[in-house]
Amino acid sequence: GDSVTQMEGPVTLSEEAFLTINCTYTATGYPSLFWYVQYPGEGLQLLLKATKADDKGSNKGFEATYRKETTSFHLEKGSVQVSDSAVYFCALKDNYGQNFVFGPGTRLSVLP
Partner 1 sequence: DTGVSQNPRHKITKRGQNVTFRCDPISEHNRLYWYRQTLGQGPEFLTYFQNEAQLEKSRLLSDRFSAERPKGSFSTLEIQRTEQGDSAMYLCASSLLTGMNTEAFFGQGTRLTVV
Which residues bind to partner 1, rule: CB under 8 A?
4, 31-32, 34, 36, 42-46, 49, 51, 89, 91, 93, 95, 97-105
Shortest Cβ distance from residue 16 to partner 1 (Å)? Answer: 28
Nearer to partner 1, 23 or 110 (CB): 23
Nearer to partner 1, 43 or 112 (CB): 43
Shortest Cβ distance from residue 15 to partner 1 (Å)? Answer: 25
At 27, the amino acid letter reads A
Shortest Cβ distance from residue 100 to partner 1 (Å)? Answer: 6
